[in-house]
Structure 1
């Protein structure tokens, strides 16, 4: 059997060039495919308004109507009183505020002013004339004599409460009272550690005699006075 292929034919000749050309063609086709652009079909419409049709219509013209202001309210009718000729009408007489020479003018010095006595309290330490304790009338220092007589009165009438002794209660009771304008003792107040001691201090003060009241500027006044009474167990 004879071979059909020509032994002189070289099939591999120019194969490299053909490969390169084919590759270039393929790359060109791929590039054109990637760069290919498509556009949607555009339809143009006439969007202009038909102005002529709109102008054919008659547009009514409007005018601003001015409303007249409301009329003013009618004035209130005057009340006219008809008076008959026979009726007498009293006329209003306006008296003058000026004084006449016939009126008597009272001078200020002729008006008597009554002195109103006010109840005032003047403390014992600052009063001009201190209250006089019975027995101190002839003493020069009536203030010192008053204090001495008060101490003598407390010692003379002092009595320790039995209940306070049994309970062992002791302490100081502050006593406040007022020597009234008539010399009597009033408004007695106590403050101490025990009620029994306070009652005993009140009993002692209640036995004070009537005194000569204190005076301020020659007038009798009320004089507050305070003194401590000490209760101490031995």
Structure 2
């Protein structure tokens, strides 16, 4: 049985039980005071009891122990009712109206391209070689010296000595190619915030997931004090990757409006639970997601 009550209901029920208990005590006290004011001595002057136990209470009309069983049952019922209310006390999450913020997710987000250092200029080309002209009338004399390499019958020829050397070690195997999974920007089935798994229609499921995501963001986000004091408003953009298992990785600030707004949006994104991963051709893939977070003073 699903029995849920709010905090105000528990408080009102507790006050009602306390008031009822006080009223019961007041009524019983009034009744016994009225009975004790009557002349009980004359009424029970000739009363005899069969045993001392029956006569332990001199005046039965004002015997407070006669209601002990009833009052104990009332106490037990009150305790059980309070216990049921305490266990059924439900704190409801604050519902944030995000209907006016759904359009921000459909806008084209322009992300500034990070500036990179300019490469140094290429070195100047080497100077061309200098060609020295040689006049045609200059003669070049070369002297050829012939060496006698004839072998006689008595000439001893020694065979060359071969030196045995160890073969060189084999080269180390090349390192394996680390192929990082591709990060998609557009997929057939976009990643979705959890909470709408039972919806089959894609458009309705996307709208439900967007509402759940925005409610999570704007119920956890805290407007930075510096931005509030200086009236800073605008839209920060957080870029992150939804992995194959739905986890959020590589969150970073793609656009910041300053005054701590970008850091606060990044903090909330890092708190997100696992998403339903995006799919391409029926298999889960890594998908990049750009999330705009709007800061507006009220």
TM superposition score normalised by structure 1: 0.48
TM superposition score normalised by structure 2: 0.39
- Is the helix fraction higher in 1 or 2? 2
**Higher Cα Rg, which structure:** 1
